[in-house]
Homo-oligomer: A and B are copies of this chain.
Amino acid sequence: MDQIDLKILSLMHENARIPMSEMSRTIAMSQPAVTERLRKLEEQGIITAYRAQLSPQKLGKHTTAFVLFRTSNCKDFVAFSEACPEIVDLYRISGEYNFLMKVLTETTESLGSFLDKCSPLGFSTTLIVLSTAFEDKSLVPSHEAE
């Protein structure tokens, strides 16, 4: 893991669909060498996936919320959450609550319906997202990767 690997990670975080030929030009290294480094980064589990980022708004999801949840049956709660399309992220946390989840719904009204659906499993506190200042900041600052 050297500066070149960090540069590859940085570029792949910016645009995962960049052609390897273009990447090799940018970092001034032959294309097969870059491809081989990328393969190793995947193999080592440093790169876990390549994902298209979708706009929730454009897909009709106009409400984002974080919901803190307290339940006594963690296993059932995780199973329920996996089957719940509204829940996009689920974290087990320390403190008064067991779980923190990120929830996307069409409207505040459908968020209400979702919370009703959850209520048999425990009790919750909802934090409505007013705006997203930023998301997915790179773990590999570009100035470190030069």
Q: B59 contacts A54, CB within 8 Å?
A: no
- A85's closest neighbor in chain B, by CB? B141
- A46's closest neighbor in chain B, by CB? B58
CA A32 – CA B53 in complex, angstroms? 22
Given A50-B53, A91-B129, do A58 and B82 touch, yes or no (CB 8 Å)? no
Q: B127 contacts A13, CB within 8 Å?
A: no
Considering the complex, which residues of chain A in the window 11-57 have a beta carbon less than 8 Å from any beta carbon of chain B?
12-17, 44-56
Q: Decide if A131 is an interface residue (CB 8 Å cutoff).
A: yes
Residues of B contacting A4 with CB < 8 Å? none
Residues of B contacting A59 with CB < 8 Å? 46, 139-140
- Counting contact residues on chain A (CB < 8 A from B), the size range is 35 or more
Residues of B contacting A16 with CB < 8 Å? 16-17, 50-52
Q: A91 contacts B66, CB within 8 Å?
A: yes
Q: B-contacting residues of A (Cβ < 8 Å)? A: 9, 12-17, 44-56, 58-59, 61, 64, 66, 68, 78, 81-82, 85, 87-95, 97, 99-100, 104, 127-137, 139-141
